[in-house]
Amino acid sequence: MKKSIVVLLHLGVWLIYFLMVAIVLAVYSRTDMNAINPMARTMNAFKNIFLFAFIPSVVCFYVYYFLLFRRYIQQRKYIQALIAGVGVSVMVAVAGYILHRYFIETGQVADMDEGGRKGRSTALSTIIVMTIIGMICGIVGWIIKGFVSWLNEMKLKEALKEKNHAMELALVKLQLDPHLLFNTINNIDSLIITDAVAASEYLNKLSDIMRFILYETKTDKILLAKELEYIEKYIDLQKIRTSNQNYVQLTISGQAGNKHIAPMVFIPFIENAFKHTSNKKLENAITVSIVIGNETIQLICENKIDARQKTKQPINTNSIAGNSIGGNSVGGLGNGLIEKRLQLIYNNRHTLAIHKTDDLYSINLNIPYE
């Protein structure tokens, strides 16, 4: 909580306190209308209240607030806090009474008690009342301090949650990037011997991809146009592993404009499509469709499954709609990891449907713009 708000909170407490004192003085003045000098009597009453109540109240309030709360309440030592609070209140009340008597005996205010047994009884009653007043103000101090501490802890927990969220998301992203890098390097390596010029061109595309990964993905959102450019270059790099010109089809409909999305949301699904399409001679083995709407953007990614080929790891066969993918891995990048990243970014604001048949695996993802 900001210090200015804490100061205003304290000022509010003492404003209410003085308002109550003013009410007491107003009632006292009305009941003493026949006094010879009502103004002098009111001033004397104010001095009594100041010495009798206000000074003990302030001392107890701030001793409870700054010292006892930190030493006992925060440590959950409630019994010790109560004992210490009573002790502080009694000591402050005794000191306040002695100060009060000093002013009385010097004649600055009217004497309030007499000597002997009656005087001792009055002194004891006065100290008890001052102790109770001090304890009440001290408990109010505990309440205020507890409220301020609770808000500060909530703010700290929220900040830590955001930091943990950012760190977790960064760790997930670190697991994504190397996987893409290794695949593309292997693809270019197979081309260097047969076509050095094309390999050089693809190396430039890889350089652009690495620049994108290293710099553009550091933020929480990027321009949709840059993400689409990255996807196009990634697909171009994947095409070098086959001479089949119709191996993959990419269609983008709609205008990217100034729309923003989280970086590298679509590429894991596209990557998995290449991972699980082993027969590169199939026509339209992979189809990627991106539909840019006004409020959301949709990815439909389908890859054909060659029944004669067996994947090393089974693909999840459940048909799932909503935000859950199910299963932990489909080979390559695990579904659990993809799902975790989507959940961290969109927190149930996205929809994802996965469907698999004997010859086709498809995903349908809708995400809102950032």
Q: Under 8 Å CB-to-CB from 90, ≥6 apart: which residues?
A: 127, 131
Q: Is residue 351 over pLDDT 70?
A: yes
103 or 194, greater pLDDT: 194
Provide the pLDDT confidence category of residue 112 given band limits of 50, 70 and 90: very low
Contact 330, 315 (CB under 8 A): yes
Instruction: Let me know: does 277 contact 285? Beta carbons within 8 Å.
Output: yes
**Distance in angstroms (rounded) separating the CA atoms of residues 326 and 323:** 9
What CA–CA distance (Å, rounded) separates 66 from 216? 48
Q: What is the pLDDT of residues 264-318, one digit of tens each?
A: 889 888 888 888 887 778 888 999 999 999 999 999 999 988 766 554 444 333 3
d(CA 205, CA 323): 33
Rounded CA gap, 318 and 341, in Å?
Answer: 20
Q: Distance between CA 323 and CA 215 in Å, rounded?
A: 29
Q: pTM of the predicted model, to two decimals?
A: 0.50
Which residue has 């290449």 as its token pair?
Answer: 274
Closest CA to 277 of 321, 326, 331: 331
- Tell me which DSSP letter residue 65 carries: I
Contact 290, 249 (CB under 8 A): no
Q: Are 219 and 263 in contact (CB under 8 A)?
A: yes
In terms of DSSP H, where are the helices of 216-266? Answer: 224-239
| Per-residue confidence band for 219, with pLDDT thresholds at 50, 70 and 90 | confident
Residue 332 tokens, joined? 């390559």
Question: What CA–CA distances, in Å, run from 276 to 84, 176, 203, 331?
Answer: 71, 17, 24, 8
Q: What is the mean pLDDT of the segment spanning 84-97? A: 87
Distances (CA, A) of 34 to 47, 55, 165: 20, 30, 72
d(CA 332, CA 274): 10
Ordered domains of the chain (ranges, CATH):
3-158 (no CATH), 194-368 (3.30.565.10)
* pLDDT level of residue 328 (50, 70, 90 thresholds): very low
Which residues on neighbouring strands pair with residue 364, listed in sequence order? Answer: 300, 353
Instruction: Give percent of the chain above pLDDT 70.
Output: 71
Give the lowest-confidence range in 40-54, 137-151, 218-232: 40-54
